[in-house]
Structure 1
Amino acid sequence: MSFVNNSPGSGLDVVEAAAARLIRAAANRQPCAPVRDLIGSTDVGAAYAVQERLTAARLAVGAVMVGRKIGLTSPAVQAQLGVDRPDFGVLFADMQCSEEQVVAMDRLLQPKVEAEIAFVLDRDLDDGPLDIESVGRAVAYVAPALEIVDSRIAGWDITYGDTVADNASSGLFVIGSARRDLNEFRPVDVTMSMRIDGREVSTGTGSACLGDPLEALRWLARTAREFGDPLRAGQIILSGALGPMAPVVAGDHVIAEISGLGAVQARFAGGATPSQATNIYAGEAA
């Protein structure tokens, strides 16, 4: 399904120009100017069309899509970024980090971290009703997660159009080892505390995520189907933040505790290290 507005002055040219700007920023590891001068701040179709171009560029060099992330579900995060609706982005296999892995800072530009719930699906959501009960039945298990959000746009100077175009400001993600079945766990009931080097930097609840993380999943399932690319069995879906995001710097150790689900952690490399950065759009050293 295409989301490009082909009317004069707002069609393929500006979409391609916005995508090229974001790809250059990622390849050169230099944040760029916002893309709203090209596609506007609120043109949902144009913003997702840019995101499609970025996704196609990654798939063309062998990246593997493993799921989706839901963004802007927390009123606190919406307030931080000045937006008022959810969005979504694409997760690729090379974005996932293990808890044991030390995250190289040169993979990131302007990282922040937020605690979330990961849903792993065991059936497609391509037909039938999409209420909370039906999407819940499609979930194999849930797990605690950290999303390491990032922006290719300098200073996080973003509107809704900017963040959607930039793959919903996606960076990396970590999934904890705990697994829970929805028959024994209610995402809406959780409380969350996130600490960096022992200092609490964020708290939240399941109800802060669009009223219920399952409601966020339902929103994404309906939206993805409307866009012609429904959610599939085996995909990882990140729920969206349970509380405010917090910036991270080299050497930080992040731990999030989610009640009834357990903990998830991420360690960030400190000091000077040999560059591991790659151009994700070419598969070559940046």
Structure 2
Amino acid sequence: MLLSAQAARHAHRLLAARAESSLIPTLSSQGPLSMEDGYDVAKNIMDIRIAQGEVMVGRKIGWTNRSAWPRLGVSEPMWAPLFDSTVRYAPGNHGIQSLAGALQPRLEPEVVFMLGKTPAPGASIEALAGCIEWMAHGFEIVTCPYPDWKLEPADAVAAFGMHGALIVGETRPLSATSRPNLGSVLAMASVSMSWGRDGVMTLRGAGFGGEVLDNPVHALWELHRLLQKQPQFPPLAAGEIITTGTWTEAYPVEAGQTWTSAFSGITLPGLNISFV
């Protein structure tokens, strides 16, 4: 278990690496690092960012594809806080995003929820779905401060959950009648990803909502359950936005590329984002 001073040093090292856009050795290469240690470092980072004036606006969920768990050596998803400084909205589902300073950026297509109500501690999946006010499509840009994306699970938790930025598209309010079936609808939906330069686009890949812990609503529920075991962190609350995990692999991106997405099986508009 990390000493509090050591967790604080790791936190400041990661914050400096992000500010300076510099790679650093993994924390786990400097001594044993458990998942609990990773969250201790993340808690230090969260407290520092709040003290510096950033506003926590929600959470990101990672490791939502169970087939990857044996390779990662984990048995549950992970999460990280989202702050106002890394979340932006794309009017008309089009936008331009700078990659300046982003370390080894990759792109993940996701579904984003906003909680209109605070869920009860023991909320069922159905009750949690009833707390969702709107959903949207989002692109999460994940980044890595460790060389070649080689790291242990606790390194990822400590390093902002690998979160770099979140671009949120048009929000779609949910009705009382749509919420109970939302999980099953999303499980059967699919998204395709294309990229290109100078207007010439090529299909890059596709994925299903069922790859996200059965569906994104279930991923939200798993986050809610995980937070019940982490009293050092605030529980989910009304007003938070939650990005629920990628539907595809994470695609490397670079300046000069444009990426577009398109859904089937659900009425969510795709995104069109150019990176500079």
**By how many angstroms is 1:178 displaced?**
4.4
Contact 2:134 2:171 (8 Å CA) reproduced = no
Residue equivalent to 2:63: 72
TM-score (norm: length of structure 2): 0.87
Letter in 2 for 1:246: Y
Q: Residues 51 and 138 (structure 1 numbering): CA distance in 2 closer, same or farther, change over 3 Å?
A: same
Q: Residues 249 and 81 (structure 1 numbering): CA distance in 2 closer, same or farther, change over 3 Å?
A: farther
Residue equivalent to 2:118: 124
Contact 1:74 1:243 (8 Å CA) reproduced = no
**By how many angstroms is 1:60 displaced?**
1.3
Q: Classify the secondary structure of the residue corresponding to 1:215.
A: helix
The whole-number CA distance in structure 1 between the counterparts of 2:195 and 2:208 is: 18
Residue equivalent to 1:92: 83
Q: Residues 254 and 223 (structure 1 numbering): CA distance in 2 closer, same or farther, change over 3 Å?
A: same
Residue equivalent to 1:110: 104
1:243 alignment partner, one of 239, 248, 257? 248
Is 1:152 aligned to residue 145 of structure 2? yes
**By how many angstroms is 1:217 displaced?**
0.2
Residue equivalent to 2:223: 220
The whole-number CA distance in structure 2 between the counterparts of 1:87 and 1:109 is: 20
The whole-number CA distance in structure 2 between the counterparts of 1:81 and 1:249 is: 26
Contact 1:81 1:158 (8 Å CA) reproduced = no
Which of 81-90 and 151-160 deviates more?
81-90
Is 1:15 aligned to residue 20 of structure 2? no
Task: Give 1:185-224 correspondences, 5 Å limit.
Answer: 185=182, 186-197=185-196, 198-224=201-227
The whole-number CA distance in structure 1 between the counterparts of 2:147 and 2:58 is: 26
Aligned residues: 259
The whole-number CA distance in structure 2 between the counterparts of 1:30 and 1:254 is: 26
The whole-number CA distance in structure 2 between the counterparts of 1:195 and 1:84 is: 31
Contact 2:102 2:143 (8 Å CA) reproduced = yes
Letter in 2 for 1:36: S
Letter in 2 for 1:266: I
The whole-number CA distance in structure 2 between the counterparts of 1:224 and 1:39 is: 26
TM-score (norm: length of structure 1): 0.84
Residue equivalent to 1:44: 35
Q: Classify the secondary structure of the residue corresponding to 2:271.
A: strand
Which of 27-36 and 101-110 deviates more?
101-110
What fraction of aligned residue pairs are identical, expressed as a percent? 27
Q: Residues 77 and 243 (structure 1 numbering): CA distance in 2 closer, same or farther, change over 3 Å?
A: farther
Contact 2:95 2:272 (8 Å CA) reproduced = no
Q: Classify the secondary structure of the residue corresponding to 1:242.
A: coil
Contact 2:61 2:243 (8 Å CA) reproduced = yes
The whole-number CA distance in structure 1 between the counterparts of 2:270 and 2:71 is: 25
Letter in 2 for 1:267: S
1:210-268 residue CA offsets vs partner (Å, 9 max, x unmatched) = 11211110011122233231111111000111111100001111112223122123211
Letter in 1 for 2:271: V
1:158-202 residue CA offsets vs partner (Å, 9 max, x unmatched) = 110110001110000111114152643422221111111222223
Contact 1:176 1:265 (8 Å CA) reproduced = no
Q: Classify the secondary structure of the residue corresponding to 2:172.
A: coil
Q: Residues 255 and 40 (structure 1 numbering): CA distance in 2 closer, same or farther, change over 3 Å?
A: farther
Contact 1:83 1:159 (8 Å CA) reproduced = no
**By how many angstroms is 1:76 displaced?**
6.3
**By how many angstroms is 1:101 displaced?**
3.9
Contact 1:193 1:258 (8 Å CA) reproduced = yes
